[in-house]
Structure 1
């Protein structure tokens, strides 16, 4: 299937204290030698279904997949609830909603930098039929990511996936080595946008609202 793409408005770092904090977090990961585009970890996952075929034209890190008819669906995304042991979270729990899927780890500086931005957009858009679903990766013990959620006031749920096994739902070509990254799924749970970088609310919210408004 031929796909058409448009680059999302850039998320430059200079100009505001918030952007400076995001830059500082990125640099801290670079010093540790743990970033590719942001922080890197693990191997790419194996596809487990769905029709989404990730493509990043020219190595772009912010991509829109348009028109909607050309979007692919991800596979069966499911896993254990980070905050509620024994409870399962699945993409199917959010039927008919736009879903913002964020891959994060408490060990990742840029993830800390974007946490309040994600929460801000979630609070601003949840009444428009938008859900957020985190996927916590590479945290072998639950207590540290649980503390992250509490300390940063994150109110949307996350799947606990230390082995990154659930990310097979994103397809074999999705660069799961890049943390943080974010996918925006439309109401049919087709991939409408991908960000392979930390996000600011001013960059994310307009795109989420536009996708939520699609007929």
Structure 2
């Protein structure tokens, strides 16, 4: 192959797409773990500005938080969603897949807390990933009674928008709490009980 062909715009685009796909695949290799914090613990001097507690919930002080990326695209039911529309709300972002047993175990807890906090300015949003079609994911939502929207992200491209070294998703399930300013305040890379979900959400909800 000549240098011209090797470095043509088409080949560069193909290489970039392949790299993105490989990165997404690497992210999802750790998918669906049922315990632990995914190695996300951070201590003083680590430079990451977040601290992971013994229960696997990582938090960031208000002054040290990083902005969450804008996420937009098609939802499982064929609609459109843009997280920029939720500015001023606390957003609970849950990464899940219908094939993931821990995701199924935590789903009822998310449904309950979403219903209880809707009037308090909390918006739950799912990111469905690694489902090769929307049918099993929609069946999962119907079975679990999930009424909040989920972006359809089968290859994990949306997850790659999160900056590395922050509280970015690194496993499935992962839950992030985004504060009213659009910054990542907390992360858990494990299935959550109702109490643990509240432990993540309530302190951010109490902020003014």
Range into which the TM-score falls when normalised by the shorter chain: 0.7 to 0.9
Higher Cα Rg: structure 1 or 2?
2
- In structure 2, the residue matched to 1:62 is 57
Give the length in aligned residue pairs.
166
User: Given that residues 57 and 186 in structure 2 are in contact (C-alpha distance below 8 angstroms), is that contact kept between their aligned partners in structure 1?
Assistant: yes
Structure 2 residue 162 is the aligned partner of structure 1 residue 167: no
Provide Cα deviations, 1:58-117, integer angstroms capped at 9, x if missing partner. Answer: 998311111x1211111221221111x2x2211112110000000000000000000000
More strand by share: 1
**TM (normalized to structure 2)?**
0.72
User: Given that residues 79 and 166 in structure 1 are in contact (C-alpha distance below 8 angstroms), is that contact kept between their aligned partners in structure 2?
Assistant: no
**TM (normalized to structure 1)?**
0.70
Q: How does 1:15-54 map to 2 (within 5 A)?
A: 38=33
For residues 161 and 123 of structure 2, the distance between their equivalents in structure 1, rounded to whole angstroms, comes to: 18
115 and 74 in structure 1: CA distance in 2 versus 1, 3 angstrom threshold: same
After TM superposition, give the deviation of residue 168 of structure 1 in Å: 2.0
Structure 2 residue 196 is the aligned partner of structure 1 residue 203: yes
Q: For residue 132 of structure 1, give the secondary structure of its aligned residue in structure 2.
A: strand
For residues 171 and 191 of structure 1, the distance between their equivalents in structure 2, rounded to whole angstroms, comes to: 11
Structure 2: gaps (5+ residues): 1-28, 35-47
- In structure 1, the residue matched to 2:66 is 72
RMSD: 2.3
